[in-house]
Amino acid sequence: MRGNDPRTGRVQRLAELGRANLAFEFDGRAVSGLAGDTVLTAVLATFPDLRAAEFGPERRAGFCLMGACQDCWLWQEDGPRVRACSTPLRTGMRLRSTPPDGWPGALQ
Amino acid sequence: MTHVLIVGAGPAGIRAAETLVAAGLCPTVVDEGSRAGGQIYRRPPEGFARPPRTLYGSEADKATRLHDVFDGLVRDRRIAYHPETSVLGLHDGLAQVLGPAGVTSLPYDHLIIATGATDRLAPVPGWQVAGVYSLGAAQIALKAQGVALGRRLVLAGSGPLLTLVAAQLLDAGAEVAAVLDTAPWHAQLWGGMRMALARPFVTLRGLRLRARLGSHYRAGVTLTAIESDGTGPNAIIWRDARGRVQRTECDTVALGWHLRAETVLADLAGARFAWSDTWAQWLPETDETGRAGAGLYLAGDGMSLRGADGAEIGGRLAARACLADLGYPTDTVAQRHDLRRARRMHRFAKGVAKAFPWPSHMVRALPDDTVLCRCEGITASELRAALHMSGCEANRAKSLSRVGMGRCQGRYCQAAGSEVMAAACGAHPAQMGRLRAQPPTRPVTLAALAARTDTQD
């Protein structure tokens, strides 16, 4: 299915499949989402989660999807962090599950 | 020059804006969404194809009318509209807002807050893993993105949204393994009778939706744990109404216990609060029209959890109260009519609250190692251990345990935190006090604050 890898992805596309593909990168891997996807939808259509939790051993994949819980922040290779549930996917985004080199306070 | 600021463009904010514009005012509307409608009538991005009937079911006409009203106000430049914009704080007649262009200040002398509600969450042991969501999240994913949040979902909690989201997911072709309602049948019967007396057709519609869930739906359950492997949930363990242990395999769990009024801005604006036993939460004090202080008005679920129809009425009531205070002639006949309707909505809402209660017993009995605060992984035992230092007061317990201090700012742990504290203190949750709202209400970088551009229009 387009814009999706149902073997590894968490979310399952049920409708609105007739949209254009948008290429982006996640952790250096070239993948694609669909026009109108949020960053959260696009990443989770191919990957099982977004990033590691800061305060525990588990992974994180968003929680409220309405900008209230702040669970779904991601890094970019360049530029500010994005709240995945409320940020539209744009072509060429280079998203990361971990802070890029040089990010203030990044773990070495 | 009068500056009326409306925060929120859901059903309450839209009707408030429409009412003010009809009186000749040009209000400013700030909304976090990229398209107006709120969460209940949330619109997918441009270019999505499903018709309103698919997205909103029986409420399609209401949704379309609201969207058309608001789009008309924007098109005709009758309002100053700031989408994708959050109010970070309120001070001295200025709202500090964060939008696509960064941080700026918007002046106001009258403020209508219509910030709606979020799901009210109770922790379930294991809920901190990836793949556990709020019920609202499951609905937003389907409505605004056309996706299910997993391959095999369990929906659990209580409230109208539980049944609604389950039915919507089934209709869309998702696999729903179980719908687990903690509300016992007797509570649903008593509350349901009140609901039916106030709004028989709406109640009947809910029953029809419920009937479509068939054997997926179970009432009176107790949630025991969410089991997971490295990638997320693989089962939920629960006890049925007879106490028998059950295990349902799944890869996604969506939780929610009716709603939690979003009151942070009302608090920052100076509203007073009172504990409501009916809704088991702190709610702002207002008069019947939503007036909460000088120049301060509340409407919609952020004032009182009356649902979308109640929010439309509340938006009009608050706007007319605002107009009256500004010395504008108002339609007193329409106001009286809306007040009558609002009372009916309130009676129905109280029935809903009775039918789908907060699961206080389940929360009080949470095992020590249950994560209470999802943001920072703080357990029930850590909160319980802090109480001998903090005493039984929510803000002090927050300072010492950090439950309520994470990045959600207590939105998803305060209810459970108060309940766990109250159980340990042998008291009622109301006696634990209320977490004070702290600006900024959303994360903002210091760089954005430093680069702020203030406008005085």
- DSSP one-letter string for A29-58: EEEEEETT-BHHHHHHTTSS-SEE-SSSSS
For the domain made up of A21-96, the CATH class stated in words is: alpha beta
The three-class DSSP label of residue B69 is helix
Q: What is the distance in angstroms between the CA of the first residue and the CA of the last residue of chain B?
A: 10
Q: Using a CB–CB cutoff of 8 Å, tell me whether A59 touches chain B.
A: yes
Q: Using a CB–CB cutoff of 8 Å, tell me whether A56 touches chain B.
A: yes
Question: Tokens representing B191?
Answer: 């509350």
Average pLDDT over residues B118-126: 98
Q: Quick one: pLDDT at residue A2?
A: 53
Residue with tokens 């098109």: B75
Q: Quick one: pLDDT at residue B457?
A: 44
- Closest among B19, B169, B120 to B414, alpha carbons compared: B120
Min Cα distance A33 → chain B (Å) is 12
Nearest chain B residue (CA) to A17? B146
Question: Tokens representing A55?
Answer: 């305060």
Can you tell me the distance from the alpha carbon of A77 to that of A27, in angstroms, rounded to the nearest whole number?
A: 9
Nearest chain A residue (CA) to B139? A65
Residue B82: half-sphere exposure toward Cβ, Cα within 13 Å: 23
Q: What is the dihedral of CA B149, B155, B160, B166, to 10 degrees?
A: 60
Q: Using a CB–CB cutoff of 8 Å, tell me whether A14 touches chain B.
A: yes
| Greatest Cα-to-Cα distance within chain B, rounded to the nearest angstrom | 66
Can you tell me the distance from the alpha carbon of B253 to that of A79, in angstroms, rounded to the nearest whole number?
A: 33
Residues of chain A with Cβ-Cβ distance to B252 below 8 Å are: 10
Q: Quick one: pLDDT at residue B456?
A: 46
Q: Using a CB–CB cutoff of 8 Å, tell me whether A70 touches chain B.
A: yes
Which domains are seen in chain B, by residue range? Answer: 4-118+260-330 (3.50.50.60), 121-257 (3.50.50.60), 366-432 (1.10.10.1100)
pLDDT of B255 higher than 90:
yes
Q: With an 8 Å Cβ cutoff, are B137 and A71 in contact?
A: no
- Closest among B306, B209, B330, B200 to B258, alpha carbons compared: B306
Helices and strands of chain A, counted as H and E runs? 1, 8
Instruction: Give me the residues of chain A with pLDDT under 70, please.
Output: 1-4, 6, 105-108
Local confidence band at B128 (pLDDT 50, 70, 90 cut-offs) = very high
Q: Quick one: pLDDT at residue B273?
A: 98
Query: What are the angstrom distances between the C-alpha of B35 and each of B14, B41, B46, B67?
Result: 12, 10, 9, 9
Q: Using a CB–CB cutoff of 8 Å, tell me whether A28 touches chain B.
A: no
Q: With an 8 Å Cβ cutoff, are A11 and B49 in contact?
A: no
Residue B240: half-sphere exposure toward Cβ, Cα within 13 Å: 11
The three-class DSSP label of residue B272 is coil
pLDDT digits (tens, 9 = 90+) for B337-392: 999 999 999 999 999 999 999 999 999 999 999 999 999 999 999 999 999 999 99
- Closest among A42, A36, A50 to A4, alpha carbons compared: A42
Q: Quick one: pLDDT at residue A106?
A: 58
Q: With an 8 Å Cβ cutoff, are A55 and B375 in contact?
A: yes
Local confidence band at B231 (pLDDT 50, 70, 90 cut-offs) = confident
Query: What are the angstrom distances between the C-alpha of A10 and each of A14, B28, B66?
Result: 13, 39, 33
- Closest among B223, B221, B252, B219 to B235, alpha carbons compared: B252
Can you tell me the distance from the alpha carbon of A42 to that of A15, in angstroms, rounded to the nearest whole number?
A: 14
Percent of chain B with pLDDT over 90: 96
pLDDT digits (tens, 9 = 90+) for B420-449: 999 999 999 999 999 999 999 999 989 899
Can you tell me the distance from the alpha carbon of B14 to that of B21, in angstroms, rounded to the nearest whole number?
A: 11
pTM of full prediction above 0.90? yes
Min Cα distance B326 → chain A (Å) is 33
Which residues in chain A belong to E strands, given as ranges?
12-13, 21-26, 29-34, 51-52, 59-60, 73-76, 82-83, 94-96
Min Cα distance B49 → chain A (Å) is 6
Dihedral of CA B197/B202/B203/B208: which sign? positive
- Other CB atoms closer than 10 Å to residue B138's CB: what's the count? 30
Question: Tokens representing B349?
Answer: 């809402």
Q: Using a CB–CB cutoff of 8 Å, tell me whether A67 touches chain B.
A: yes
Q: With an 8 Å Cβ cutoff, are B146 and A15 in contact?
A: yes
Contact between B398 and B404 (Cβ < 8 Å): yes
Closest CB from A10, A14, A49 relative to B172: A14
Contact between B182 and B157 (Cβ < 8 Å): yes
Q: What does the mean pLDDT of chain B come to?
A: 96
Q: Using a CB–CB cutoff of 8 Å, tell me whether A10 touches chain B.
A: yes
Which residues in B100-199 belong to E strands, given as ranges?
102-107, 110-113, 117-119, 132-134, 147-148, 152-158, 175-181
